[in-house]
Amino acid sequence: MALASNSEWLESFYQAASKQAKQQNLPGFALVVVDKAGPTQIKTYGRAHKTGHKIDENTVFRLASVSKTFTAGLIARQDAARSLDWQTPLVSLLPDYKFDKYQKSPILLRHLIGQSTGYTPNAYDNLIEANYSLDRVLKHLVKLEPICKPGYCYTYQNTLFGALEKYYLNKGTSYAEQLTSHLIKPLKMPNASIGKQALIDSPEWAQPHVAIDRKKWAKVRVKDDYYRFSPAAGVNASASDMAIWLEAMLGMHPAVISEKMIKELTQPRVKTVNELRRRGWRQSMRSAHYGLGWRVYNFNGVTINYHGGWVQGYRADVAFAPSLGVGYAMLMNAESNLINHMTADFWREQIKQKRLLAKR
């Protein structure tokens, strides 16, 4: 049996996470480990909501920027169905917005999903947080001068994903409808949804918490801001949903996410040099790139496809290693940096254990 699905090994990892969470007085988290060689395992800690119910596999969390992995999967599906194309210029989707500054090098859909549009990183996130309207933020982006040609450098964005939101609305549909019909329903995800109202309408959801001091947390209201740019940060999911998503990215649901799509999404495209200095990860990082909706790391000689998310009151990590046949997710209803160390520690130990197993 592969060590990632060994109950004793995972229980030890879970107990370590729970011990640290207790020391920090964290409200709660959920861990997911998918192994193609063994059963999926879900571990939970803490309580979800003012009702006092314990977090379980169906408790819904905000995914924040982990939503971008779902958006990439949606575009891959639509590209395969020829309703959209990775090579489509952004101006073709929204003719009224003149994003292109290099006429011979237009911004393509793959540049948007691949975080290589050339716009200043995190351009106008402050306007999202100030609750500017979608149209108003996009108009500000039109005025912005790029720092490089599309496809030439890594320039992480949230606001520009509003272009995709606007495109679907102009087509008489929505990102939520498209993601639901193309991914959530075909994969039979039991609790996944899009938007603030969908989160709070869930039978059980994890209420967000922010730090007051090192060991004290306060419940806060769910904010609207990034939900209005849902292709960037609008998806909600439970541990059981994330297990299915990891299965799909490990090639276990080929009728929905094909092997060709997975390879396309995880092909390294632009270097992300700052990721080499990532806290908790840096001692094991050999290279770092961004693909299409996924970060692509060489971590102790193993390719790990990863994305993290962070909005007020929530943190989320998702990652999978195709060569190991293993996927991992951690969802938290608190803004704790514990997640950085837990995810890196998981992969460090997982790689070690798999290599030991291979020598036997």
Structure tokens at 265: 């999404």
d(CA 167, CA 170): 5
d(CA 173, CA 51): 35
Mean pLDDT of 162-166: 97
Mean pLDDT of 238-263: 98
CA nearest to 43, candidates 79, 5, 92, 75? 5
**Residues 25, 217: contact at Cβ < 8 Å?**
yes
Please provide the average confidence, as pLDDT, over all residues in the chain. Answer: 94
pLDDT tens-digit map of 11-42 = 889 999 999 999 999 999 999 999 998 899 99
Residue 358 CB-density burial (10 A; 0-12 exposed, 13-18 middle, 19+ buried) = exposed
How many CB atoms are closer than 10 A to CB 143? 7
Q: How confident is the model at residue 82 (pLDDT cuts 50, 70, 90)?
A: very high
Q: How confident is the model at residue 214 (pLDDT cuts 50, 70, 90)?
A: confident
CA nearest to 277, candidates 267, 268, 287, 269? 287
Q: What is the pLDDT of residue 1?
A: 37
Quote the crossing angle between the two packed helices 7-23 and 338-359, to the nearest 10°.
160
* Three-state secondary structure of 42-73: EEEEEECCCCCCECCCCCEEECHHHHHHHHHH
pLDDT at 5 over 70: no
CA 154 to chain centre: 17
pLDDT tens-digit map of 255-307 = 999 999 999 999 999 999 999 999 899 999 999 999 999 999 999 999 999 99
Q: What is the pLDDT of residue 3?
A: 41
The predicted model scores a pTM of 0.96
Residue 346 CB-density burial (10 A; 0-12 exposed, 13-18 middle, 19+ buried) = buried
pLDDT at 6 over 70: no
DSSP alpha helices (H): ranges in the chain?
7-23, 67-80, 90-93, 109-113, 125-129, 134-142, 162-170, 175-179, 196-200, 230-233, 239-249, 259-265, 338-359
Backbone angles phi, psi at 167, to 5 degrees: -60, -50
Structure tokens at 256: 């929905």
Mean pLDDT of 215-229: 93
Backbone angles phi, psi at 216, to 5 degrees: -130, 130
SS3 content of the chain, % helix, strand, coil (to 5): 40, 20, 40
pLDDT tens-digit map of 310-350 = 999 999 999 999 999 999 999 999 999 999 999 999 999 99
Over its C-alpha atoms, the chain yields an Rg (Å, rounded) of 20
Backbone angles phi, psi at 5, to 5 degrees: -105, 10
pLDDT tens-digit map of 41-77 = 999 999 887 667 899 999 999 999 999 999 999 999 9
CA nearest to 2, candidates 300, 231, 325? 325
- The enclosing H or E element of 312 equals none
d(CA 29, CA 90): 38
Q: What is the pLDDT of residue 53?
A: 85
CA nearest to 307, candidates 323, 291, 325? 291
pLDDT at 4 over 60: no
Q: How confident is the model at residue 7 (pLDDT cuts 50, 70, 90)?
A: low
List, in sequence order, every residue forming a beta bridge with 304; answer none if it has no partner.
Answer: 297
Q: What is the pLDDT of residue 215?
A: 78
Q: How confident is the model at residue 88 (pLDDT cuts 50, 70, 90)?
A: very high
CA nearest to 262, candidates 221, 292, 285? 292
Q: What percent of the chain has pLDDT over 90?
A: 89
